[in-house]
Amino acid sequence: MQTGVLRVLRATAASWWRHKELRRTGQTGQALQLERETVLRDLGYLRQAATLPNAHVICGEGGTFIHLGWTTVSTFAPIERVPLATLAVARGTPFIDIRPVTDVIAFANLPRVAWDGSVDPEPWGPGSSVSLTTYIDTVEGLGARILNDPRSHQSA
């Protein structure tokens, strides 16, 4: 693991208000233990983001979400203030920026990304499952920006 990634994760964990409060009250050992657990958990998220075929990061007005199969890591902050999501994108996880999307009704009616590889036949609706590439095609048509586009890695 790159030392820069570990440095960011450690700094993020140390900046949490709960960990700061433990240090302030002299419970340094407990703060360090919680920070180690946080870093290990976040490293696990980064590994999943790098290995799961449908893992992606999505950012909208409601916050940032890292979708990792059955696990979703989320916060109300934009990606610029979420070091874990920023690291995942920097390491190649697809990023869908839906902040430019203006048609919220069409976006709300999009199908979800399938995690087990089984996709539903068309026509799709809000309860349907589609592949990540199909989801990206659809949301891009609504104005979303895509980074680390997995479609560019597929052979024609």
> Mind listing the pLDDT tens digit for each residue in 38-58?
999 999 999 999 999 899 999
Give me the mean pLDDT over the 121-128 stretch.
75
Q: Which residue has the higher pLDDT, 83 or 127?
A: 83
Could you give the CA distance from residue 126 to residue 25 in angstroms, rounded to a whole number? 49
- pLDDT exceeds 80 at position 85: yes
φ/ψ region of 118 (left if φ > 0, alpha if ψ in -120 to 50, else beta) reads beta
Q: Which residue has the higher pLDDT, 69 or 17?
A: 17
Q: What is the b/e burial string over 123-154, where b = at least 16 CB atoms within 10 angstroms of the residue's CB?
A: ebeeebbbbbbbbbebbeeeebebebebeeee
Give me the mean pLDDT over the 114-140 stretch.
83
Q: What angle (nearest 5°) sits at the alpha carbon of residue 44, between those of residues 56 and 16?
A: 95
- pLDDT exceeds 80 at position 11: yes
- pLDDT exceeds 70 at position 144: yes
- Percent of all residues in the chain with a pLDDT value above 70, rounded to a whole number: 96
User: Could you tell me the sign of the dihedral formed by the alpha carbons of 79, 148, 56, 39, in that order?
Assistant: negative
